[in-house]
Structure 1
Amino acid sequence: MATIGVLGPGGVGGLLAARFGAAGHAVTVIATERTAAELTARGLTFQGPDETPFSTFPTARPWLTTPLDVLFVAVKATELLPALQRVPAAVLGAATVVPLLNGVDHLPLLRAVYPAASVIGASIAVEATRHRPGAIEQLSRFADLVFADGTSAGAAVAELARTAGLSVSTHPDDATVLWRKLAFLAPLALLTTGANAPIGPARDSHESWLRPLVDEAASAAGVHAVQVDADAVTARLTSLPGAMQSSMLKDFQAGRTLELDAIAGPIIRALGAAKAATTVEVVQEILSAGR
């Protein structure tokens, strides 16, 4: 049995806390004072596709007080710095840190904050939501984790996730794991948010954006020596259920801060604004509509 921490029990973090708890691992959730109190009083309820809802009872605290084997970081990129104040490096020690953030720029930051830890590249593809603190629903039929297993820590945490019944694949390289996720996520997030619609209506109303967004994300990955199949990404985006929404669209419609820099920023910085023209255009459209 592993001791597992989850920083940020939203849709993704709550899913992981529930799955690992149900698999018999000791789970500690680190969250705001209010959310920690809710979880302590009520526990965590999880609903998956075609599953009977189940409840687990993780330890919930507003800050980490005991060492862990593995820490999953599942906060928004915009909330990362304040969230890390809840996990002191001296307490975390030599744990394996698995960030499931959007973007590619967080690994160097986490390695600087936690020098004794093993920070590995990882990504997750899932649509999940938190209805209230402690009430999590997985909306998509898929929840696919990818771990960089080029180190023993990465290989071990991939196997740990498999034992919890999670869908896991691996790649030895951090950059490949992160950029292949971003090359799919950025077109999805930017297209849906720019169109202010789920993926189906967004594809129909802004078809001219779709392929250029994919091509620019793939080209940016190539700058970092990561090969992305733009045709395969386009086909995947075209096949998504029409009602699917990106997390950025949900944040946009709720008036929350958007992860625009984490998602679009790496593409624009890699290519320059002139070669990332459609990405820049859609970002400007989103910023204009948000005013």
Structure 2
Amino acid sequence: MPGQLSLRPRRGPREREEDRLDDVAAWARTADGDLTLGEAEARLARSRGLTVDHVLGARDSRHEDGALQVLRPLAWVRWAGLVAIPFLPLLLVPRRTMSTSRLANHGRAEFLLNGIEVAYGLVVLVQVALLLAWCFRPAHAQRERVVGAVSVLVAAPCVVFSTVIVVIGSVVESWTGAALALLLAAVLAAANLLAHLSLRTVRRSHARDVRRIRDALRDDDDWRSRGPGQHGPVTSLGRAVATMDESRRRSLQRDQARVLDALADRGKIDQETARAAAELPLGRWGELER
């Protein structure tokens, strides 16, 4: 009814931008430049949530570079550092502060404040590095950026609360360095979180995923030649499509038809190529351009 309030939640700018990028038919109708079938099928796969992991699902760790396998344990060190370092000062909080004299707590408080300066000095360096990385390559290190920022924003209030209790019960000459380190780390963490949620990150991440899916499908022969019984990205994508429910699969087929019609109407591909692509499963369109 007119004037009736809608119960549907309002979509924010990030969600609207994702919807725009996933409208492959609109891309085929309006995008400039050379529009290829390889990019079209990569965009269609991405729009249906068939991410790079689905397409590259055939990867076998036995064929990874030996150096990468050796360095893999270092990834756990990276994640542990991102999560643990902001919480390290909590281990320095003395268990008993209020029950002893102010002078006796002086050494404990100074030790805690020095620990905060060192730990959050490292955190500041990490957050600055992640923010600089976003300035140049916003689609990379996204998980590291989120995990690091959330860890700081969760740990910092706990550290502040614990430190205030210790400082109140002691004689401390200066806490400025620790306070500045905490404040700067929190500000940088918030900036990294906002950067991750920005429209620039959404666009660059989408473009990166489309490029990786397109390149993987193009290199399908190389993937399948890595060993007996190996399935290439085309097969992996076909299996992912096959596991969709009927409504999603029909929606994908309708979008495929709209995209091919739009590309043909604009002269990006000829009618014969459009008919041939319509008879091929998603993932094999790029074969028509070789």
If asked which structure has higher relative contact order (CA below 8 Å, sep 6+), I would say: 2
TM-score (norm 1): 0.24
Pick the structure with greater CA Rg.
2
Identify, as 1 or 2, the structure richer in strand: 1
